[in-house]
Structure 1
Amino acid sequence: GPGRGNGAGGTGNSGAVPRGMLGSDLALRAREMMRGIDIPANPPAALRAAREAARRIAVAADERDVPVRMYVDSFRQKIERTAAQIQMRVAAAPARYDPLVSVAVRSDGSVDEVVILRSSGRPDTDEAIRRIVHLNARYAAFPPNVAARFDVIEIRRIWTFAETLKLLEEVR
């Protein structure tokens, strides 16, 4: 039409599109194309889960990320030190197994969850593990270089009760 295109036979303004015409035309076309399309305000659950998983790390014995390893080691030291300070003694009967425990810590240092992956075989020992983790909570916030990449660090360790509590790396 007149005023559009290559400017031939138009207004003599060397082919320029009148100000405001292009933007409003594109906006109108976009609105027409979007009509009847439902765009959810929140991303689908599967996409949210994938994003959350991408910001979560399960630390294994072979973890190469030095700042993450340092954070996990400070967690281990705090647990072992607290157990020694309160002179934690597990029941007279020893645990049948060394429990495998996963503790998920959020970037602010709060506990996300405590999961006993392999029980000690003694409910009182398993409960003592949960108590120790929560007694120590609030852990240190993640360092900025770790928090920029992760929202949750999952720390899996074997808890051994001898004379003192030791958290050992799980070898898979």
Structure 2
Amino acid sequence: MPAPRHFPPAPAAADKTLLKAAILVSLALHLLVLASAGGLLPAINMPPLPHSTLQLTLLKTPPSAPPARADMLAQHHSDGGSPATAISNDDLVPTPPEKLQPRATLASRQAALTPVPSQQATPPDTRQHARLGAAAVGVSWAGYVENWRRRVESIGNRHYPAEARARGLYGSLELVVVLRDSGELMDVRIARSSGNPVLDQAAINIVRMGAPYPPFPAKLAQEYASLEVVRKWSFTTTHRLDGS
């Protein structure tokens, strides 16, 4: 007798209820979106998606000395400022002073371009210095020295020393007077004292009162740059100054 044949059971019919529900829900959602886009329904506001936040705290520290080796230029300024810029070790080496070239100003450049005028040396003064004693005579300077003597006498008699008059002082002395060609008094000093300081100082003061004197005449100035006059002066008993 042949063995009975076994047949696999027929598969159960698939439940299409879930599929149909899913299709219906999808159609409903599409219709809602289309209606909202067409203005038939108010716009649907979707809830915002959650996002992560980063909290940053800035710490403001009091100013302090800059770090010895800063990797960032803004490392010393924690209170803000320009953004940090990376620097290298070569940037921290100071430039040698001999490589620093100062910027030339406009005035210095103009001065460098302006030609310097040549300076001509002043020719030396070849005129002589005459020393005139009491017995010296000369045509070129005789008139000038005589006029100078009269002027000193006139000033001395107008400003006769009051102390010498009150005390009855008199005496003679010798003065050395040096005159420049312009009439300037270069020097006056006692060559031989009268023995009385009052008379000596009075004679010096009288010569200084008359300065400056008239300049040399043209012929005299051509020959001499200065004159040194050595002359005797006397304070007389009649309270007069005599230079003759």
Verify the 8 A CA contact 1:90 1:161 in the aligned structure 2: no
What TM-score results when the alignment is normalised by the length of structure 2? 0.44
- What fraction of aligned residue pairs are identical, expressed as a percent? 27
- Between 1 and 2, higher relative CO (CA 8 Å, sep ≥ 6) is seen in 1
Question: Following the alignment from structure 2 to structure 1, what is the Cα–Cα distance between the partners of residues 235 and 146?
Answer: 18
Verify the 8 A CA contact 1:76 1:167 in the aligned structure 2: yes
Q: Which amino acid aligns with 2:169?
A: P
Choose the corresponding residue for 1:59, options 129, 132, 135. 132
1:94 and 2:94 matched: no
1:76 and 2:149 matched: yes
Structure 1 gaps, min length 5: 1-40, 43-47
Question: Following the alignment from structure 1 to structure 2, what is the Cα–Cα distance between the partners of residues 126 and 105?
Answer: 19
Verify the 8 A CA contact 1:101 1:116 in the aligned structure 2: yes
**Alignment-derived partner of residue 209 in structure 2:** 135
1:165 and 2:238 matched: no
Deviation string, structure 1 residues 104-140 (Cα, Å, up to 9, x no partner): 1110001111121111111121111111011000111
Q: Which amino acid aligns with 1:158?
A: K
Q: 5 Å matches for 1:1-172?
A: 55-89=128-162, 91=164, 92-95=167-170, 97-162=171-236, 163=238, 164-168=240-244
Per-residue deviation, 1:87:
4.1
Structure with greater Cα Rg: 2
Change (3 A) 1:135 1:120: same
| Greater per-residue strand proportion | 1
Give the paired residue count: 120
Verify the 8 A CA contact 2:199 2:235 in the aligned structure 1: no
**RMSD between aligned residues:** 2.4
Question: Following the alignment from structure 1 to structure 2, what is the Cα–Cα distance between the partners of residues 90 and 165?
Answer: 14
